[in-house]
Amino acid sequence: MHAPVLLTEAIDALCVKADGTYVDGTFGQGGHSRLILSRLGEQGRLIVFDKDPTAILAAKAIQDKRLYIEHSSYANLQTALQALEIDGVDGILLDLGVSSIQLDKATRGFSFRQEGPLDMRMDTSRGRTAAEWLATVTETDLKEVIRDYGEERYAGPIARAVVMARAQQPITTTLQLAEIVAAVVRARGHGWEYRQHPATRTFQAIRIHLNQELEELSMTLPQCVNMLNPAGRLVVISFHSLEDRIIKRFMRQQAKSDRLPRKLPVRAHEALMHSQQTLTVIGKKIRPSADEIAANPRARSAIMRVAEKSGTGIITR
């Protein structure tokens, strides 16, 4: 079973009110959602989102009239909530990345350690598979994806090797791609003894690109602010430095209130400052404890950030 990372810390950070309305933007296997439901009273509501059909099936297995299920990306959060005639919510949780269930199931194609079809789609009901994308992507575009999303220093040689390999036969399985990448890395003096598998960054980059993960995160964060009630909490758990950078910069930008002319009268300055500041960052980033990492090594890269809605400001961009 998938072990939710920072489970208690995340739900504590939401400050769940018994009669509040909350959003879990990444239901997964429902670990965070179940704890939220346990803290809600009869008048409380929880709306859950997930792109993965298997996650939606898991959500439907929970018989609870307080639970509303959306088979959709959290990038559609504002539209979906408004369709439900919900004007504001008291807390939003986003737990980014892939779940253990997705990684461990070979047929999903996320893992470089098991033989399976090269799929990598979060939503298996739509879109191109990784195999279909690799069959047509140019060497230049592939290099940019691996470099920018995987932060892989051998992006160029890996892209070249993939293009050369697909000219011989289609790349359709996870182990095919993993071996192509590993051969490039080993040829440059780095082998399987390294802490990470040589294909880790390449698989991660292709998955992020294929599912538009960073783009959807950037689209969603302003929607979260718009839909939060005053004093509502936004809690985001990320597992990748690029994700965390987006979250950190967004929260800091929305928390800033010092961009006004210095010589404004005090009252005018205070009024404008209040209207501009939409978030207050709560505490510092939170990481899993040593005990949690020992029990669940996949938690080691997790970072949680928390912010609170400062006023009634709306982000229009």
209 has binding-site annotation: no
154 has binding-site annotation: no
Token pair recorded at residue 134: 């690799």
74 has binding-site annotation: yes
Residues 248, 77, 104, 59, Cα dihedral to 10°:
140
102 has binding-site annotation: yes
244 has binding-site annotation: no
Q: What are phi and psi of 159, to 5 degrees?
A: -60, -40
168 has binding-site annotation: no
95 has binding-site annotation: yes
Known binding positions for S-adenosyl-L-methionine: 30-32, 50, 74, 95, 102
Binding site listing: 30-32, 50, 74, 95, 102
